[in-house]
Amino acid sequence: MTKVSFGAHPFLLGFDQLERLVERTAKTDAGGYPPYNIEQSAANEYRITLAVAGFSEGDLAITLEDRQLVVRGRMPEETGERVFLHRGIAGRQFQRSFVLADGVEVCGASMENGLLHIELTRAEPESVVQTIQIRKG
């Protein structure tokens, strides 16, 4: 029995990229660090919040490439001789990725109380009705 892929279904013309998008999304799982929330604050507004305790704005980088939002964190090497009796605050480097739908744009980012907030908006889809003329062959 041959398996028909989602993007190859005859009624879904032009959706072959959707299958690649699902595969790419599955590969972006970075485990549980850093923990994050995704909120919908209005009909077309979203907020991603990452818990980045111990990181400063300079330790974080946010990039958007090919509809993929990537947040990276890297703390500078410690130069002092600190002795920890217990170290429970994770300070390891991380990379967390989110695949954004077409029309979703990043509005900005802010830090507050160890939380990195990334604001997103989605443009209203335009309802377009188009009449196609039939040419004589």
Q: How far is CA 127 from CA 28, 124, 130, in A?
A: 32, 9, 10
| Together in a domain, 17 and 73 | no
Q: In this structure, what token pair is assigned to residue 14?
A: 């032009």
Measured CA to CA, the distance from residue 12 to residue 35 in angstroms comes to 36
Is a pLDDT exceeding 80 seen at residue 101? yes
Pick the closest to residue 119 from 72, 64, 53, 73 (CA basis).
64
Is a pLDDT exceeding 80 seen at residue 25? no
> Does 44 map to a domain?
yes
Per-residue confidence (pLDDT) for residue 66, from 0 to 100? 87
> Does 133 map to a domain?
no
Q: Which residue range forms the structural domain that includes residue 70? A: 31-122
Is a pLDDT exceeding 60 seen at residue 22? yes
| Together in a domain, 21 and 48 | no
Instruction: Identify the CATH number of the domain in which residue 83 sits.
Output: 2.60.40.790
Per-residue confidence (pLDDT) for residue 117, from 0 to 100? 98
DSSP label at residue 6: G
> Does 87 map to a domain?
yes
Amino acid at 12: L
- Confidence category of residue 98, pLDDT binned at 50, 70, 90: very high
Amino acid at 10: P
For the chain, the domain total comes to 2
